[in-house]
Amino acid sequence: MNIITVDNPVMEMPINVAAKSTRIQSIDLLRGIVMIIMALDHVRDYFHADAFIYDPTDLSHTTVAIFLTRWITHYCAPVFVFLAGISAYLYREKRGRNALAFFLLTRGLWLVLAELFIVTLEWTFNPTYPFFNLQVIWATGISMIFLAGLLYLNKWIVLVIGILLVAGHNLLDNVHVPGHGIGAFIWSLLHEQGSYNFGNHTFSVRYPLLPWIGIMISGYSIGRLYNSSYDAKRRQRILRWIGVVCILLLIILRTCTRYGDAVNWSLEKNGLFTILSFLNLTKYPPSLLYILMTLGPALVFLSFSEKPLNAINSKLAVFGRVPMFYYLAHIFLIHSLAIIAVVLSGHHWSDMILSTRVNRSPKLKGYGFSLTTVYIVWIVLIVLLYPLCKWFDNYKRSNQSTKWWLHYL
CA 58 to chain CA centroid, Å, is 22
List, in order, residues 6 or more apart from 263 with CB less than 8 Å away: 280, 281, 282
The 8-class DSSP code of residue 352 comes to G
Low-confidence ranges of the chain (pLDDT < 50): 1-9, 13-23
Dihedral of the alpha carbons of 142, 147, 152, 157, in degrees to the nearest 10: 130
Q: Classify the phi-psi angles of 386: left when phi > 0, otherwise alpha if psi is within -120 to 50, otherwise beta.
A: alpha
Instruction: State how far the alpha carbon of 374 is from the alpha carbons of 33, 40, 257, 377, in Å.
Output: 18, 8, 37, 5
Q: What is the enclosing helix (H) or strand (E) of 201?
A: strand 201-205
Q: Are 181 and 200 in contact (CB under 8 A)?
A: no
CA distance 335 to 234: 45
Q: Which long-range contacts (CB under 8 A, 24 or more apart) does 396-402 make?
A: 396/321, 396/322, 400/14, 401/14
Three-class SS state of 277: helix
- What b/e string do you get for 259-269 counting C-beta neighbours within 10 Å, with b at 16 or more? ebbeeebeebe
Q: Are 254 and 261 in contact (CB under 8 A)?
A: yes
Whole domain around residue 80: which residue ranges? 3-408
For residue 405, what pLDDT is reported? 80
Residues above pLDDT 90, as percent of the chain: 84
For residue 22, what pLDDT is reported? 42
For residue 17, what pLDDT is reported? 39
Q: Are 35 and 319 in contact (CB under 8 A)?
A: yes
- Give the count of alpha carbons within 13 A of 221, CB side only: 20
Residue 3, strand partner residues: 18
List, in order, residues 6 or more apart from 68 with CB less than 8 Å away: none
Domain total in the chain: 1
Residue 4, strand partner residues: 17, 24
CA distance 17 to 161: 27
CA distance 25 to 30: 9
β-pairing, 201-205 vs 131-134, is: parallel
CA 377 to chain CA centroid, Å, is 21
Q: Render pLDDT for 252-279 as a digit per residue (tens, 0 to 9).
A: 999 998 899 999 999 999 999 999 999 9
Residue 24, strand partner residues: 4
pTM for this model (two decimals): 0.92
List, in order, residues 6 or more apart from 406 with CB less than 8 Å away: 12, 396, 399, 400
Which phi and psi angles does 151 have, rounded to 5°?
Answer: -60, -25
**DSSP secondary structure, 133-146, as one string:** EE-HHHHHHHHHHH
Q: Are 35 and 51 in contact (CB under 8 A)?
A: no
- Give the count of alpha carbons within 13 A of 238, CB side only: 12
Residue 48, strand partner residues: 369
